[in-house]
Amino acid sequence: MRKSISVLLLAAAALPAVADEGMWTFDNFPSAKVKEQYGATIDAAWLDRVRRSTIRLANCTASFVSPDGLILTNHHCVRSCLAELSTRETSLEENGFVARQRGDERRCETQMADVLQSMEDITDKVARAVAGLDAGAANEARKKTLTQLESDCERDTKLKCQSVTLYQGGQYFLYRYKRYSDVRLVLAPEADIAAFGGDPDNFQFPRWSLDYSMLRAYEDGKPVKTANYLPIRFEGPQAGEFVLVPGHPGSTSRLDTRAELEFARDIVMPNWLLRYSELRGRYIQFGKTGESAARIVEEPLSSIENGIKVRRKLLDTLHENALLEAKSEAEHDLRAKVAGDAAFGDPWADIAGAVGIQRNIYLPYAFLEGAAGFNSAAFRYARTLVRAAAERPKENTARLREYTDTALPRLERQTLAAVPVYPELENLTLSWSLERMREWLGPDHPVVKQLLAADSPDTLAAKLISGTKLSDPAERKRLWDGGQAAIDASDDPMIKLAHAVDQPSRAVRKQYEDEVEAPISTASEKIAAARFKAYGTNVYPDATFTLRLNYGTVAGWKERGEDVAPFTYLKRAFERATGEPPFRIPASWEQVRGTLDMDTPFCLSTTSDIVGGNSGSALVDAQGRIVGLLFDGNIHSISGNYWFDTAKNRAVAVHPAIIRESLQKVYRADAILKELGVR
Amino acid sequence: MRKSISVLLLAAAALPAVADEGMWTFDNFPSAKVKEQYGATIDAAWLDRVRRSTIRLANCTASFVSPDGLILTNHHCVRSCLAELSTRETSLEENGFVARQRGDERRCETQMADVLQSMEDITDKVARAVAGLDAGAANEARKKTLTQLESDCERDTKLKCQSVTLYQGGQYFLYRYKRYSDVRLVLAPEADIAAFGGDPDNFQFPRWSLDYSMLRAYEDGKPVKTANYLPIRFEGPQAGEFVLVPGHPGSTSRLDTRAELEFARDIVMPNWLLRYSELRGRYIQFGKTGESAARIVEEPLSSIENGIKVRRKLLDTLHENALLEAKSEAEHDLRAKVAGDAAFGDPWADIAGAVGIQRNIYLPYAFLEGAAGFNSAAFRYARTLVRAAAERPKENTARLREYTDTALPRLERQTLAAVPVYPELENLTLSWSLERMREWLGPDHPVVKQLLAADSPDTLAAKLISGTKLSDPAERKRLWDGGQAAIDASDDPMIKLAHAVDQPSRAVRKQYEDEVEAPISTASEKIAAARFKAYGTNVYPDATFTLRLNYGTVAGWKERGEDVAPFTYLKRAFERATGEPPFRIPASWEQVRGTLDMDTPFCLSTTSDIVGGNSGSALVDAQGRIVGLLFDGNIHSISGNYWFDTAKNRAVAVHPAIIRESLQKVYRADAILKELGVR
């Protein structure tokens, strides 16, 4: 097994970059290298067209696939929309959804689609703003500057502008997006086939999950006209074919220091895994209390099961001594290169010191400011309403970053959207999180003591959930519009709770920002500068949920000495079905079983370097045609958060042939087929 | 903070042993050192009397405290007995229990009390049996020899004989016990006060848990006469006073190699914690479905919450780089001392190699042979019945070790005891464990595939639990007595399941024994021999749930710079009560609140080196009088599995004054008070 992390490779100097590794920004894509290695021409026009066809959703990627704003993404990327459009009686996840005509397409209340229009390097502007300041003041000034630049940009361009930190502070950019706020559901298969194999098969390959769905972007009540879109090559790619993935990888930690990795290993991962494994158990047991319970718990359960699997494998990776040793070695090498520069200081030691503080404040930070102690939709609404009332009157650059003018529209939309809130689920998550807060902070922590002086977590949660009116969007709108006066006058118990814990939460956040974030930012900028100096810019930055492009080939791998082939076929899905979830083929498929071509390719694997956030990305060929729909990686891909395992890290995509087969024979979506150019 | 592990200290040669560290066998207690350091005389007569007064329960320690066989132990040590004597309508844990007269004392069906009579060193006998054999053959021969020696001993002495491996194979002993098979419940406070503070306060100090209970040993239907017993000094010890703890520490890993610790850190702890955190969630949620559900889930829930807390802290300890570095250093030092002895080889590398195999087979071993995939009482009965039928006809030394003549009486007792089995709980744990087996082994593992070909974990569990008759003790007796013929004729689905998974389970066990256990045993014996050679026998062995004696003083410690005092008092328990579990004072106490002396000492902390298994141990003074009842350690004590933290590791005991106060004023147990010599 061969592993690498780019800093290491670069530290080792003249080694070539490992094939297929890299999450490249569109302004720094290694076209020449790709031309040389694969003979493919990825020129400016190609990059522009693909960039303008690629969409960033709330937590996924998607693509325009027709001139009428039709969007292709994963089924799991619209699960929250499906849940929002469901009730306790009817589940769109369970039943699937097909809009037979455009009028039937249903709006996803909390979804938006952003398309990147342009990028501006603002590194110098940020550097000027922080020049000569100590870490704490620099941290403040940096944030204010970014807020100001975003705000100026939005005023000038009417686009959505977002600052982006690349290379841990080595570069700052302003990314400008065209935003589509009206996104509607067009088609989603039943969860039984879209997530066939469920949690057991998640992050596994071979795989048979029909993880696609379709949306459509609207403007002024009409489908948008999209000059740029990606056509689908339904026959799919050949084994070994060169392929690319434009998308928004969410986050990676490949440039983190050893101290930061050890913090994740010792504190963050175990804490999260323990808490969410328990929540998983609570959800599952709750789901057994009835059909409606099973229905409303399905989406949140599937979401945390995914999170558990990811973190389990991340923890495994952090336990590989080779990773930490390689990290130390890379730090040692870079340190040697900057030796003699007294002004450089020791940023690794600075980060280790800050991480030491972070270890001490992690629990109060997570439970109070991170709201891990108050896990309920009503509390999230309450906190947003309480804080928005306090922040909005302030000057834009003086606000908490999530309440700046740039951030407010999405926040308001999310806060006021009419989505179902289930009190029994609210009770479950709130009592669980209060109980765990008491466990981890201890019964004698001031906040715990105050809240639970005469209550158990269960009795307190019951009072709060039965007393709050925040599940009503109208009440939220009243409080949002009413500002501080409305908040002060409210006797909603959840508003009162959010208010009561606001000061201790802000206090630990302030400590975190001053004593952890600030020194880490300053030290990371120094390391990034040293890295640029030592290795040039022929490196890619860690993922930041901003647009990237990677390349690779269609390929399987060797698992314990056995070849894993890169394609799966429909036939095996039927063979593998047990009749019970998550291995149940839906009735819609069983009914037409005789008409299906059992040799239809179902999923495929590629060497593409992807992580969460790439979900829904198009897998495109050298001509920019869709030859697959990325939805997952194999189990080894999870370690990609820390390094890239060339031998085993594989991306997993839905094959376009199974999408066509499903549209033609199962969902009989003739209008969509026509729109996609299928005769 | 000062930490040590004995191997390290010894590696560092002439350093004195750290004060208060050590779990000494009774034949190797450092009396001279104690005399010198504390002025206390712990002579042979003292050791004999205390040994004969100290009892080993199924998973705890206890002491005779009267000449009529009265036994003092922890409340949490009798929780399984309380659960067995409860029904879904009435819970002895909830209500407590007081036998007003001896006729009311209730037998604990699965409990036994063993008292150590003598110890024989059989190291030479074992060495002769394995001389010249390779690791695999030596492993077999060693087990056969131990079985044979146990069997000969029982035949000759009529005592229970158990072989004991000390110093990871540095010494082998035969321990001979007098066994009391009839143990009855005399008194138990309500769980609300016995476990006041519940899971949040578990492993915490200051503490207010009245964690005591009383049993009585019977023989031929009459209370046994016990010449040796420990009187109680109800006023308790002074701060700083010299105290000792005779007891049965369960297990420690202080002599494990680095490879073994990394295995625990990477595989064992995370896997267990994830699975049991989920089970915790399922139990809690299940408990909310009704009063009876809450009742029957209480004992198993509290048991796994304890396990979670222990392993959380163990994982934290394993993440301390200093521990692993110290371990490497100690290995390095010992290696240097034996350098030049070619015959010695490299036992550390041998162990690392075996652990590499163990990593690969851990999951199938745990889920199949460890039965983590079949978590239900009925399956445990089924496996025992299936295997007992197969093993009992074999020659004694040819059997699986848990089915030898020495082991059978306890096994039979446990299998046939009439204890309640709740089908709803069985369904819960079985479906959970089947689901997790599918998750961790994968849906395509042969056993998973076979069992779940047309079922989900839920539907399979439901069929098994509704179909099995093994919850009926009469049916178990029929199958136990009927042997192989009865098993073969049974169509009980759980028997069929146990039979179906028996071969794959035995296969992975065989692989474990040959490829993991055998080389580790041989290598560990070598390391132990080297250690004796280098450092002499002035060392204590790792805990093995056999009788040990340690010494220390009554003392608090410094926590984040603040002094923690070594005593707590009753008053604060009332102040800390919230009225809701686990901070609820029971009605029996509230009713007599006015009569209670609020300055009664409640709990105390000592520097005693204890771990799980020491629960229920007497804390005795230099005269061998009980001055406390060990029931817990502080949070730092958990790291004692790997090393002893002199500065912070503290044991926690119930103060005898609160026991007297409760007997006099709350439980009005006059007969018991009289028996204890209180006027």
In a domain, B309, yes or no: no
Mean pLDDT of A500-525: 97
Query: Is residue B4 over pLDDT 50?
Result: no
* Nearest residue to A561 via CA among B268, B438, B360, B368: B360
Token pair belonging to B593: 């609140």
The DSSP string of B519-577 is: HHHHHHHHHHHHHHHHHTT-S-PPP-SS-EEEEEEB--EEETTEEE-SEEEHHHHHHH-
The HSE-up count of residue A5 (CA atoms within 13 Å, CB side) is: 27
Query: Is residue B219 over pLDDT 80?
Result: yes
Residues B230 and B107 in one domain: yes
DSSP-based helix, strand, coil % in chain A, nearest 5: 50, 15, 35
Report the pLDDT value the prediction gives residue B339, as an integer from 0 to 100: 83
**CA–CA distance, A127 with A137 (Å, rounded to integer):** 13
A286 to chain B, minimum CA–CA distance in Å? 6
* Nearest residue to B250 via CA among B22, B60, B55: B60
Token pair belonging to B550: 């340690």
Residues B61 and B118 in one domain: no
Report how far apart, in Å, the C-alpha atoms of B308 and of each of A275, B80, B199, B254 are: 11, 18, 10, 20
Q: Does B454 contact A289 at a Cβ distance shorter than 8 Å? A: no
Which residue among A281, A438, A458 sits closest to B279, beta carbon to beta carbon?
A281
In a domain, B450, yes or no: no
| Between residues B345 and B662, the one the model is more confident about | B662
Within 8 A of A443 by CB-CB distance, chain B residues are 197, 200-201, 576, 583
Which residue among B197, B428, B455 sits closest to A580, beta carbon to beta carbon?
B455
Mean pLDDT of A253-269: 97
Q: Does B273 contact A273 at a Cβ distance shorter than 8 Å? A: yes
Within 8 A of A275 by CB-CB distance, chain B residues are 277
Q: Does B316 contact A438 at a Cβ distance shorter than 8 Å? A: no
Q: Which of B578, B635, B639 to mutate to test the interface with A (most CBs of A within 10 A)?
A: B578
Q: Which residue of A has its CA nearest to B434?
A: A200
Within 8 A of A278 by CB-CB distance, chain B residues are 277-278, 280-281, 284
Report the pLDDT value the prediction gives residue A536, as an integer from 0 to 100: 78
Token pair belonging to B637: 């004590």
In a domain, A374, yes or no: no
- Which positions ≥6 away from B220 have C-beta within 8 Å? none
Of the residues A159, A180, A201, the one at which a domain ends: A180
Q: Which residue of B has its CA nearest to A453?
A: B578
Token pair belonging to B408: 């059978």
Which residue among B280, B432, B581 sits closest to A278, beta carbon to beta carbon?
B280
Q: Which residue of B has its CA nearest to A269?
A: B270
Query: Is residue A344 over pLDDT 90?
Result: no
Q: Does B578 contact A286 at a Cβ distance shorter than 8 Å? A: no
Q: Does B312 contact A201 at a Cβ distance shorter than 8 Å? A: no
Which residue among A265, A278, A319 sits closest to B278, beta carbon to beta carbon?
A278
* Nearest residue to B248 via CA among B540, B643, B549, B539: B549
Burial-class residue A302 by CB neighbours within 10 Å (0-12, 13-18, 19+): buried
Residues B163 and B200 in one domain: no
Share of chain B above pLDDT 90, in %: 94
A203 to chain B, minimum CA–CA distance in Å? 11
Q: Does A200 contact B439 at a Cβ distance shorter than 8 Å? A: yes
CATH code at position B612? 2.40.10.120
Query: Is residue A9 over pLDDT 80?
Result: no
Within 8 A of B452 by CB-CB distance, chain A residues are 578
In a domain, A508, yes or no: no
Q: Which residue of B has its CA nearest to A454?
A: B578
B246-278 tens-digit pLDDT = 999 999 999 999 999 999 999 999 999 999 999
Which residue among A277, A283, A453 sits closest to B578, beta carbon to beta carbon?
A453
Q: Which of A284, A324, A424 to mutate to test the interface with B (most CBs of B within 10 A)?
A: A284
Query: Is residue B94 over pLDDT 60?
Result: yes
B302-335 tens-digit pLDDT = 999 999 999 999 999 999 999 999 999 999 999 9
* Nearest residue to A112 via CA among A549, A417, A375, A399: A417
What's the alpha-carbon Rg for chain A, to the nearest Å? 25
Report the pLDDT value the prediction gives residue A171, as an integer from 0 to 100: 95
Q: Which residue of B has its CA nearest to A440?
A: B200
Within 8 A of B432 by CB-CB distance, chain A residues are 281, 284
Mean pLDDT of B31-44: 96
B523-565 tens-digit pLDDT = 999 999 999 888 877 789 999 999 999 999 999 999 999 999 9
Domain span at B158: 114-180
Query: Is residue A17 over pLDDT 60?
Result: no
Residues B140 and B219 in one domain: no
Within 8 A of A438 by CB-CB distance, chain B residues are 200
* Nearest residue to B316 via CA among A353, A371, A359, A370: A359
Within 8 A of A285 by CB-CB distance, chain B residues are 281-282, 285-286, 428
Which residue among B285, B579, B583 sits closest to A285, beta carbon to beta carbon?
B285
Least confident of A324-333, A584-593, B39-48: A324-333
Report how far apart, in Å, the C-alpha atoms of B246 and of each of A97, B212, B603 are: 69, 17, 19
In a domain, A310, yes or no: yes
Q: Does B265 contact A455 at a Cβ distance shorter than 8 Å? A: no
- Which positions ≥6 away from A44 have C-beta within 8 Å? none
Q: Does A455 contact B275 at a Cβ distance shorter than 8 Å? A: no
Query: Is residue A307 over pLDDT 50?
Result: yes
Which residue among B281, B576, B578 sits closest to A282, beta carbon to beta carbon?
B281
Q: Which of B312, B439, B560, B584 to mutate to test the interface with A (most CBs of A within 10 A)?
A: B439
Report the pLDDT value the prediction gives residue B15, as an integer from 0 to 100: 35
Q: Which residue of A has its CA nearest to B280?
A: A278
Mean pLDDT taken over chain B: 95
In a domain, A56, yes or no: yes
Mean pLDDT of B21-35: 95
Beta carbons of B600 and B657 less than 8 angstroms apart: yes
Beta carbons of B46 and B609 less than 8 angstroms apart: no
Q: Does B266 contact A443 at a Cβ distance shorter than 8 Å? A: no
Residues A72 and A161 in one domain: no
Beta carbons of B138 and B522 less than 8 angstroms apart: yes
Residues A118 and A104 in one domain: no
B582 to chain A, minimum CA–CA distance in Å? 8
* Angle at the Cα of B419 from the Cα atoms of B413 and B425, rounded to 5 degrees: 125
Report the pLDDT value the prediction gives residue B14, as an integer from 0 to 100: 31
Query: Is residue B127 over pLDDT 60?
Result: yes
In a domain, B361, yes or no: no
Split at pLDDT 50, 70, 90, the class of A537 is: confident
Domain count, chain A: 3
Please tell me whether the interface predicted TM-score (ipTM) of this complex is above 0.90. yes
Q: Which of A205, A285, A317, A559 to mutate to test the interface with B (most CBs of B within 10 A)?
A: A285
Mean pLDDT of B391-403: 97
Q: Does A315 contact B281 at a Cβ distance shorter than 8 Å? A: no
B318 to chain A, minimum CA–CA distance in Å? 9
Q: Does B289 contact A284 at a Cβ distance shorter than 8 Å? A: no
- Which positions ≥6 away from B301 have C-beta within 8 Å? B280, B283, B284, B287
Burial-class residue B675 by CB neighbours within 10 Å (0-12, 13-18, 19+): middle
**CA–CA distance, B177 with B159 (Å, rounded to integer):** 6
Report how far apart, in Å, the C-alpha atoms of B89 and of each of A265, A414, B106, B294, B421 are: 45, 48, 18, 11, 14
A363 to chain B, minimum CA–CA distance in Å? 14
Of the residues B127, B155, B180, the one at which a domain ends: B180
Residues B564 and B632 in one domain: yes
Report the pLDDT value the prediction gives residue B344, as an integer from 0 to 100: 86
Burial-class residue A534 by CB neighbours within 10 Å (0-12, 13-18, 19+): middle
Report the pLDDT value the prediction gives residue B20, as an integer from 0 to 100: 81
Q: Does A277 contact B274 at a Cβ distance shorter than 8 Å? A: yes
What pTM, to 2 d.p., does this model score? 0.95
**CA–CA distance, A15 with A21 (Å, rounded to integer):** 14
Within 8 A of B322 by CB-CB distance, chain A residues are none
In a domain, B467, yes or no: no
Q: Which residue of A has its CA nearest to B436?
A: A200
Q: Does B285 contact A281 at a Cβ distance shorter than 8 Å? A: yes
Of the residues A134, A155, A180, the one at which a domain ends: A180
**CA–CA distance, B398 with B403 (Å, rounded to integer):** 10
Within 8 A of A201 by CB-CB distance, chain B residues are 443
Residues B573 and B653 in one domain: yes
A245 to chain B, minimum CA–CA distance in Å? 29
A256: left (phi over 0), alpha (psi -120 to 50) or beta: beta
Backbone angles phi, psi at A185, to 5 degrees: -80, 130
Within 8 A of A288 by CB-CB distance, chain B residues are 458
Q: Which residue of A has its CA nearest to B560?
A: A360
Query: Is residue B608 over pLDDT 90?
Result: yes
Residues B27 and B102 in one domain: yes
Residues B190 and B171 in one domain: no
Split at pLDDT 50, 70, 90, the class of A416 is: very high
Q: Which residue of B has its CA nearest to A428?
A: B285
Backbone angles phi, psi at A446, to 5 degrees: -50, -45
A640-676 tens-digit pLDDT = 999 999 999 999 999 999 999 999 999 999 999 999 9
Split at pLDDT 50, 70, 90, the class of B18 is: low
Q: Which residue has the tokens 């002439």?
A: B14
Residues A260 and A303 in one domain: yes
* Nearest residue to A367 via CA among A459, A460, A461, A504: A504
A204-239 tens-digit pLDDT = 999 999 999 999 999 999 999 999 999 999 999 999
Which residue among B280, B321, B454 sits closest to A578, beta carbon to beta carbon?
B454
Residues A60 and A99 in one domain: yes
Beta carbons of A588 and A595 less than 8 angstroms apart: no
